[in-house]
Chains A and B, each alone.
Chain A
């Protein structure tokens, strides 16, 4: 046997295995393939004789030679990331390929393999390196936002490395996970939030976005069901970059810039605050007189005025400066800091016919906008592929990262920087009595103040505390692949994701008012997650009699995760110079615990293509998980899909304008096991110690029948291309019905438990999405392309057996409503006669009629649905303009129709009636005199006038953002030649440049981190706004 010529990655793209020797040969042609953009040779390009399996690949210099059958007329030239071309056969052929992101020949990574886009019958969205690269965002999901139809990405707030919500075609679960499965080069990665400070972090922030070659999002059952029990929320496949045979490449990247809050709110200044507080004192006195607490109105007013004046004096550092508004502190400004960002990238790649490599390193140094927040990250990666002989190849991907996240407290903590807005503008930053930060020292007692400023001053935490989350992570896998015989291969992969996280907190003595550690205190924790998996599968493809293409995958997969964690707390340090627990006088607590889960799966997929136009795909996965009881541990998740490429049919083949048309449909089942470990067991826990004597208590009710949550999905889609595929589009309609919800079902508290995990309830998602890719203008020097995507999703909980989840919060899971719907009293403003807060009763009378009369008795009004945190639709649009070396890229992204509940409103926009919190300026519009018509009730010190949850703080959360705007310049060849560079680019990029919204808070992309959950969405609570970033960058290639 002369040789089986291996075509490695390109082989995958064509799903063909060919031998050259068996073909009849009549002549040999040669040629050279280059990149149209820069004229450089392209290695690894596949050249195929059309309608045959005769093909080869170009070498490092871009050349190829191919023995072709005598009758061959056309060559098909294709390469990953480039538009496929067909050219007439002639010798010394010279072809230049253009980058073709929308081309139908594009290779798409699917579960356990690849497909070309043309042949896909499911729904898969792909985002490439070009769109993701050099985004000034900590985590790659941010870069994904708005890029793919039906993929909703929402960052909780503007703190670095914090939790990010990703929903693919809506939420499929109420109590189990709603985040997709993330698979990096075949390894399902750990996404467990390990943060201990009440705010989530995103473990995906450890990945280097610039290492990513492409992200494929598997959206429908047909594409995702091969991941079975973990696929209900979609699957995100991340493929990292690999080397190409040919000249070695060195790429260096650098960017640096500044970040700032996208928006600031308007708070009262010193004069407004003093006047308003006095107005509130009068309001309180009058109100209490009305209630009968005082003999005369004046008595009440005097008492409250006295009280308020004494408090104003206290908050004015004990002096009378407040009377002249001498001090006017902008506490909002104090919460923020200048925030530079810098990132360096270096990558080397290349190789030869036998071995290719990609190695890269990155350093990110990002300062957050919130005081004390910063992040440093170091990444390294090495991907190697090697062909041992003509049938065996092996390789390894290995990435390490170290992430140092210097964090701030969760949104609900007095110590989080942005809660400084509650402090009084009359309070000076520096207390003139001590020359120290206000609150740091009470000269009377010699210890920090206990009631000055009005609340704990978060600036004391900036000065005297820290909270560090450090991650060391190794993620990688090794694989071996054997070509057993023509068309049949076996691949085995062993992957590991090892995540080590330590957290360390220190709270100095000046934070005592917040932490209750008079001599300081501290906390450390360490988590080790070892997550390993193996995939072993056969793949067979064959072509029978020209017309039948068959591609079969069958194999197994096993995943096992062990999570060990430990923690310790201690307090009382000899001085604030000592910060490690070893120096602490009292060791207060120590913990260690461990938890595990595993999945065992067998899977198979069959793809059949007839006459290159009729497509069929069947897949199934048989899955078991340790999370379920022996009664129902196994589940089966099948899917089927079919497609018809009409444009291949005779009746359309001659169409001048329609170059491609495919219709497709899919149906299948996927599962969800995204719940905690051991949920089916009746458990006791040994955390019942009392006075240092160990104790135990029941902690969980048993449910041995607990099983998978199952989603049945259908997708109907049309893909078409017009004008030689210059415009391609995909339109999908889908519905997804989820049943047997893994629900934390509320049970009567009298049982001793508050909830139990059961399979109960149903929900569904219905939606419509489309994406359009268009090459609007393509000339020699100018190119304008547009990518547009749009998705609408309607989520409805159809059955919860009458119960409602989330009672006690504003967000609920309620039958007949979308997940997380806002339920509260409907606010009606101020009673024109009294200034009392009023709410619409919204109670049903005997005849079922809704009573819309307002009431000032909160308990008399009924809770009603006041809004939906889920958007009606989301969209993204990218316009890219190239003129010679100049490139302008404008990317807008938006969500529409969702509501935001500003949970901080009950303190900061509360008619000054819920404490001495400084108020937003809209509260100046409070009711003053009978007859006033206003939505702001009368200001009344401490009288809680309308401060209970209601639609008073519900706002429209729609927004449209200039998400990214880039202006770049590629240096021309003649200049490059002089400075001996292959490539060089300089660019200016703006991220979150402008936001158009009616939301009154800081930023409409928000979800208070301390309470974010499946149900709790769209709530703002002193949340740090998103970052507006402007960077300058260079990319240089050797």
Chain B
């Protein structure tokens, strides 16, 4: 048995080597992600985070379009036949939204997710090179301000309902989340506080952003969003002057005809289509990034869930080109054709809206001299003439006509609900300030965060 000694020694040696060889393998680093401490070290890191903010903004639940489609469904007063199978959308269309509605939850989560990325960008501005710093800060503030505005007008009482200083708005989040602490369990800010923050963010964005910024938000985008905010508040002087700044910036021009504002290529419906000259701000969509949910729900190339009922066209004038240029009939149904390119940019602010805001505001401010020096009727006629209609005479212009013009020009682009609230128009017998026309705070959020209060009626 003398060789046994060598056997034992040999095997123990091998065993020892095997036993100790593997501890190094316990440290594994991810390949497709990086540690958060490595994420925001250089100017280019922070700029990439700003692009990441746009990417989150372009998700379907937010500026990919849902947030505007809700307005058309919840605000619909009989112009739409909904035949979709997304039950959450059906509930919104029926104006009977359960607190666990998946779209209500999805938009809330996606909005604050985007805001958190924006806040990360804003937290690391010191890393950004001088030359780019304003542009980066302005971009993040534009996105944060815009989303807070959309959240407050969907999830809280309208500005013009009672006292915005006492009505609950939505939580304002201004710092990035690194860990969940007591402070993460936020309460709702008041409606007026949210509007104040929105205006602050957008005003700063307007001053920081360059006039030309490719398809990213520029000065005009921030001013255009401000004009929309002021109009919602009924602050017509500020609305008119913000709209005036966009019109006079020269960055944009109306397309020659209405159809050209909504490009469609029947030969290649999957073509990627960017901004038109009229797009003050639009979300870019291509085959792998972003989504155009207007197309998803309105277009036959998408799900085709939204049909337009024939009676909708009854209040259009005879020569109006818009019904024929923006709508089409297929298999006995009428569809809105503004969004037929699946990879077309999502129109967020068109220049036409600015003319309508300036015109309406100046009309309301009369007899004060018009802001921008252009009489209200000229702005309305700019829109009318592009649609092939005869100009309207100054003395024939009424507020109703302006509102009608606005509803035709901006039809199904996401203005329906918020205009009804602003104008205090009831919808299918439901009062403009009825709780049914306000989203509930998502059930999951109420359950997770005891500091949040639910809206009345839910």
Given contacts A484-B4, A534-B22, A942-B83, 14 further A-B contacts (CB under 8 A): A451-B304, A536-B19, A595-B30, A624-B26, A685-B32, A686-B34, A689-B55, A701-B179, A807-B100, A808-B102, A914-B87, A943-B94, A944-B96, A948-B87
Q: Which 3 A-B pairs have the closest CB atoms?
A: A752-B116, A688-B52, A695-B51
Find chain B residues with CB under 8 A from A588 CB: 287-288
Given contacts A688-B55, A695-B48, A748-B185, contact A485 B8 (CB under 8 A): yes
On whether the beta carbons of A626 and B52 are closer than 8 Å, the reply is: no
User: Count of B residues near A, CB < 8 Å?
Assistant: 101
Given contacts A518-B270, A538-B15, A948-B87, contact A751 B289 (CB under 8 A): no
Let me know if B85 is at the binding interface, CB within 8 A.
Answer: yes
Find chain B residues with CB under 8 A from A534 CB: 18, 22
> Which B residue's beta carbon lies closest to that of A444?
B331
On whether the beta carbons of B286 and A692 are closer than 8 Å, the reply is: yes
In the complex the two chains form, what is the Cα distance from A747 to B39 in whole Å? 22
On whether the beta carbons of B449 and A748 are closer than 8 Å, the reply is: yes
Of the candidates B39, B50, B304, B333, the one whose C-beta lies within 8 Å of that of A698 is: B39
On whether the beta carbons of A750 and B83 are closer than 8 Å, the reply is: no
Given contacts A589-B288, A754-B109, A807-B447, contact A948 B98 (CB under 8 A): yes
> For residues 664 through 686 of chain A, which have their beta carbon under 8 Å from a beta carbon of chain B?
677-678, 681-686
**What is the minimal beta-carbon distance from B329 to any residue of chain A, in angstroms?**
10
On whether the beta carbons of B55 and A683 are closer than 8 Å, the reply is: no
On whether the beta carbons of B116 and A751 are closer than 8 Å, the reply is: yes
On whether the beta carbons of A449 and B331 are closer than 8 Å, the reply is: yes
Of the candidates B113, B185, B429, the one whose C-beta lies within 8 Å of that of A292 is: B429
**What is the minimal beta-carbon distance from A948 to any residue of chain B, in angstroms?**
6
Interface string of A730-771 (1 = CB under 8 A from B): 000000000000000011111111101000000000000000
Which of B170-178, B191-199, B314-322, B398-406 touches A? B170-178
Let me know if B264 is at the binding interface, CB within 8 A.
Answer: no
Find chain B residues with CB under 8 A from A747 CB: 180, 184, 448
On whether the beta carbons of A450 and B26 are closer than 8 Å, the reply is: no
Interface string of B1-31 (1 = CB under 8 A from A): 1001001100100110011011101111111
**What is the minimal beta-carbon distance from A547 to any residue of chain B, in angstroms?**
27
In the complex the two chains form, what is the Cα distance from A756 to B180 in whole Å? 9
In the complex the two chains form, what is the Cα distance from A51 to B227 in whole Å? 98
> For residues 19 through 61 of chain A, which have their beta carbon under 8 Å from a beta carbon of chain B?
none
Of the candidates B96, B102, B215, B444, the one whose C-beta lies within 8 Å of that of A691 is: B215
Let me know if B395 is at the binding interface, CB within 8 A.
Answer: no
Given contacts A595-B30, A697-B49, A750-B184, contact A314 B332 (CB under 8 A): yes
Find chain B residues with CB under 8 A from A106 CB: none
Given contacts A450-B304, A589-B288, A808-B444, contact A633 B26 (CB under 8 A): yes
Find chain B residues with CB under 8 A from A690 CB: 51-52, 54-55, 58, 284, 289-290
Let me know if B108 is at the binding interface, CB within 8 A.
Answer: yes
In the complex the two chains form, what is the Cα distance from A677 to B30 in whole Å? 8
Which of A596-604, A712-720, A864-872 touches B? A596-604
Of the candidates B32, B176, B444, B447, the one whose C-beta lies within 8 Å of that of A686 is: B32
Find chain A residues with CB under 8 A from B112 CB: 749-752
Of the candidates B99, B102, B302, the one whose C-beta lies within 8 Å of that of A859 is: B99
Of the candidates A1, A444, A518, A697, the one whose C-beta lies within 8 Å of that of B117 is: A697
In the complex the two chains form, what is the Cα distance from A1011 to B458 in whole Å? 28
> Which B residue's beta carbon lies closest to that of A863?
B100
Find chain B residues with CB under 8 A from A694 CB: 48, 51
In the complex the two chains form, what is the Cα distance from A807 to B109 in whole Å? 14
Binding site for A on B (CB under 8 A): 1, 4, 7-8, 11, 14-15, 18-19, 21-23, 25-39, 45, 48-56, 58, 78, 81-83, 85, 87, 90-91, 94, 96, 98-100, 102, 105, 108-109, 112-113, 115-117, 119-120, 171, 173, 176-180, 184-186, 215, 269-270, 284, 286-290, 300-302, 304, 330-333, 342, 428-429, 442-445, 447-449, 452, 458
* A interface, size bucket: 35 or more
Find chain A residues with CB under 8 A from B26 CB: 598, 600, 624-626, 633
Q: What would be 28 A-B contacts, judged by CB atoms less than 8 Å apart?
A: A292-B429, A482-B11, A556-B18, A558-B25, A560-B22, A569-B288, A572-B270, A588-B288, A602-B19, A678-B29, A678-B33, A684-B36, A685-B33, A688-B55, A690-B289, A691-B290, A692-B289, A695-B48, A701-B180, A702-B178, A746-B444, A747-B184, A748-B185, A748-B448, A756-B180, A859-B96, A942-B82, A948-B91
Interface string of A796-814 (1 = CB under 8 A from B): 0000000110011000000
Given contacts A748-B448, A749-B108, contact A595 B31 (CB under 8 A): yes
On whether the beta carbons of B331 and A450 are closer than 8 Å, the reply is: yes
In the complex the two chains form, what is the Cα distance from A534 to B113 in whole Å? 43
On whether the beta carbons of B36 and A807 are closer than 8 Å, the reply is: no
Let me know if A594 is at the binding interface, CB within 8 A.
Answer: yes
Interface string of A807-827 (1 = CB under 8 A from B): 110000000000000000000
Of the candidates B14, B36, B105, B429, the one whose C-beta lies within 8 Å of that of A702 is: B36
**What is the minimal beta-carbon distance from B424 to any residue of chain A, in angstroms?**
19
In the complex the two chains form, what is the Cα distance from A807 to B99 in whole Å? 11
Binding site for B on A (CB under 8 A): 1, 291-293, 307, 310, 314, 391, 442, 444-445, 449-452, 455, 482, 484-485, 490, 492, 516-519, 534, 536, 538, 556, 558, 560, 569, 571-572, 586, 588-589, 593-598, 600, 602, 624-626, 633, 677-678, 681-702, 746-754, 756, 803-804, 807-808, 858-859, 906-907, 914-915, 942-944, 947-948
On whether the beta carbons of A751 and B184 are closer than 8 Å, the reply is: yes
On whether the beta carbons of A598 and B28 are closer than 8 Å, the reply is: yes
On whether the beta carbons of A516 and B342 are closer than 8 Å, the reply is: yes
In the complex the two chains form, what is the Cα distance from A685 to B117 in whole Å? 12
On whether the beta carbons of A701 and B177 are closer than 8 Å, the reply is: yes
On whether the beta carbons of B284 and A753 are closer than 8 Å, the reply is: no
Find chain A residues with CB under 8 A from B185 CB: 748
In the complex the two chains form, what is the Cα distance from A293 to B180 in whole Å? 48
In the complex the two chains form, what is the Cα distance from A697 to B46 in whole Å? 10
**What is the minimal beta-carbon distance from A811 to any residue of chain B, in angstroms?**
13
On whether the beta carbons of B18 and A915 are closer than 8 Å, the reply is: no
Of the candidates B32, B109, B176, B270, the one whose C-beta lies within 8 Å of that of A586 is: B270
Find chain A residues with CB under 8 A from B36 CB: 681-684, 698, 702
Of the candidates A455, A518, A598, the one whose C-beta lies within 8 Å of that of B269 is: A518
Of the candidates A536, A625, A695, the one whose C-beta lies within 8 Å of that of B55 is: A695
In the complex the two chains form, what is the Cα distance from A624 to B36 in whole Å? 24
On whether the beta carbons of B458 and A859 are closer than 8 Å, the reply is: yes
Find chain B residues with CB under 8 A from A697 CB: 49, 52-53, 55-56, 117
On whether the beta carbons of B15 and A600 are closer than 8 Å, the reply is: no
**What is the minimal beta-carbon distance from A441 to any residue of chain B, in angstroms?**
13
Of the candidates A586, A595, A944, the one whose C-beta lies within 8 Å of that of B94 is: A944
**What is the minimal beta-carbon distance from B33 to any residue of chain A, in angstroms?**
4
On whether the beta carbons of A947 and B49 are closer than 8 Å, the reply is: no
> Which B residue's beta carbon lies closest to that of A591?
B32
Find chain B residues with CB under 8 A from A750 CB: 112, 171, 173, 184, 186, 445, 449
In the complex the two chains form, what is the Cα distance from A951 to B286 in whole Å? 42
On whether the beta carbons of A684 and B55 are closer than 8 Å, the reply is: no
In the complex the two chains form, what is the Cα distance from A752 to B123 in whole Å? 15
In the complex the two chains form, what is the Cα distance from A678 to B428 in whole Å? 53
Find chain A residues with CB under 8 A from B178 CB: 682, 701-702
**What is the minimal beta-carbon distance from A582 to any residue of chain B, in angstroms?**
17
On whether the beta carbons of B342 and A593 are closer than 8 Å, the reply is: no
> Which A residue's beta carbon lies closest to that of B4?
A485
On whether the beta carbons of A597 and B28 are closer than 8 Å, the reply is: yes
**What is the minimal beta-carbon distance from A79 to any residue of chain B, in angstroms?**
31
On whether the beta carbons of A702 and B179 are closer than 8 Å, the reply is: yes
**What is the minimal beta-carbon distance from A589 to any residue of chain B, in angstroms?**
4
In the complex the two chains form, what is the Cα distance from A292 to B78 in whole Å? 13
On whether the beta carbons of B120 and A698 are closer than 8 Å, the reply is: yes
Find chain A residues with CB under 8 A from B90 CB: 914, 942, 944
Find chain A residues with CB under 8 A from B173 CB: 750-752
Find chain B residues with CB under 8 A from A572 CB: 270
On whether the beta carbons of A556 and B19 are closer than 8 Å, the reply is: yes
On whether the beta carbons of A749 and B333 are closer than 8 Å, the reply is: no
